[in-house]
């Protein structure tokens, strides 16, 4: 019974990746204007998610706090290496039609969704009520984050349909994480203690090295200011989600 709840819940979370479909009815010119806001919001949500959600939870669940920061640094280094690889391959072989950070964003988001799936599985193993509460909490912070991710993919050069498809593939990682968490529940804690700060390092790298610099490139002061406000809203939303979850 628990496995059925786990699969249904994680599939529902995965479907949130299709929230970008709401933008399909928007004309391209209008979409261009709001993309910068989505990029800013996504950067804020990544920063807020890393510092307010992932890192505090990782510190709370591990006996050695310094190891969390080692894994955080490792995440930053790994994402730096991956970006250099993606940049070299796509910007030299394919003339850089698609920005490298879109692939990093998908990779980091896939890991994050995998961890979310693990969290849902472990919660349902404990109790159905806890599992439902955990699923709702994850949905709460996934909605704005997925919308921001879709905006990042479009801004990075993906078509709308391609962005929806790859965002959904990334979302499906939650189901793989849930299945892994269910069948290896005895080892889930140690694995998540490693993956969580690693993911936080990736989120911080993407936000500070890729998304925020894109905002600085904007020549229109008005649009740059709107993107900054969206950045702050992304952080504020994640902070409010943190407060709601603490109640």
Has residue 194 been placed in a domain?
Answer: yes
Has residue 110 been placed in a domain?
Answer: yes
Has residue 238 been placed in a domain?
Answer: yes
- CB-based burial of residue 155 (10 Å sphere; 0-12 exposed, 13-18 middle, 19+ buried)? buried
> Which pLDDT tens digit goes with each residue over 142-181?
666 677 778 778 878 888 888 888 888 888 898 998 888 8
Residue 220, φ and ψ in degrees, nearest 5: -80, 115
> Which pLDDT tens digit goes with each residue over 48-60?
888 988 788 788 8
Has residue 6 been placed in a domain?
Answer: no
Has residue 22 been placed in a domain?
Answer: no
Q: In whole angstroms, what separates CA 50 from the centre of its chain?
A: 9
- Within 10 A of 229 (CB to CB), how many other CB atoms are there? 14
Coil/strand/helix, residue 97: coil
- Within 10 A of 160 (CB to CB), how many other CB atoms are there? 17
Has residue 11 been placed in a domain?
Answer: no
Instruction: Give the per-residue pLDDT at 70.
Output: 94
Has residue 16 been placed in a domain?
Answer: no
> Which pLDDT tens digit goes with each residue over 207-238?
898 788 888 887 788 888 998 999 999 899 88
- CB-based burial of residue 60 (10 Å sphere; 0-12 exposed, 13-18 middle, 19+ buried)? exposed
Is residue 92 scored above 50 in pLDDT? no
Instruction: Give the per-residue pLDDT at 228.
Output: 93
* Contact between 192 and 60 (Cβ < 8 Å): no
Question: Where does the pLDDT of residue 247 fall: very low under 50, low under 70, confident under 90, or very high at 90 and above?
Answer: low
| pTM flag (> 0.85) | no
* Contact between 171 and 13 (Cβ < 8 Å): yes
Burial 83-98 (b: 16+ CB within 10 A, else e): beebbeebeeeeeeeb
Residues 6+ apart with CB under 8 A from 14: 113, 168, 171, 172, 174, 175
List the domain range (segments joined by +) for residue 225: 36-246
Helix (H) or strand (E) holding 204: helix 185-205
Q: What's the structural domain count of the chain?
A: 1
- What six digits make up the tokens of 203? 């989120």
Question: Where does the pLDDT of residue 74 fall: very low under 50, low under 70, confident under 90, or very high at 90 and above?
Answer: very high
Has residue 18 been placed in a domain?
Answer: no
């Amino acid at each position: 019974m628990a496995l059925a709840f786990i699969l249904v819940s994680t599939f529902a979370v995965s479907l949130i990746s299709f929230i970008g479909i709401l933008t399909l009815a928007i004309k391209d010119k209008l979409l261009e204007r709001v993309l910068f806001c989505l990029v800013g919001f996504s950067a804020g949500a990544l920063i807020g998610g890393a510092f307010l959600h992932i890192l505090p939870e990782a510190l709370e669940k591990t006996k050695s706090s310094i190891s969390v920061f080692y894994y955080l640094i490792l995440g930053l280094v790994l994402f730096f290496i991956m970006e250099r690889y993606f940049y070299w391959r796509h910007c030299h072989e394919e003339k850089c039609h698609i920005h490298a950070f879109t692939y990093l964003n998908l990779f980091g988001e896939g890991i994050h969704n995998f961890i979310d799936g693990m969290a849902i599985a472990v919660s349902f193993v404990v109790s159905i009520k806890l599992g439902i509460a955990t699923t709702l909490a994850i949905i709460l912070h996934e909605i704005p984050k997925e919308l921001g991710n879709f905006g990042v993919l479009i801004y990075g050069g993906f078509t709308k349909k391609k962005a929806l498809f790859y965002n959904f593939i990334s979302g499906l990682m939650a189901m793989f994480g849930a299945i892994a968490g269910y069948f290896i529940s005895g080892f889930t804690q140690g694995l998540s203690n490693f993956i969580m700060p690693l993911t936080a390092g990736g989120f911080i790298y993407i936000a500070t090295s890729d998304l925020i610099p894109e905002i600085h490139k904007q020549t229109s002061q008005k649009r740059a200011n709107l993107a900054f406000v969206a950045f702050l809203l992304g952080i504020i939303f994640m902070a409010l989600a943190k407060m709601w979850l603490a109640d």
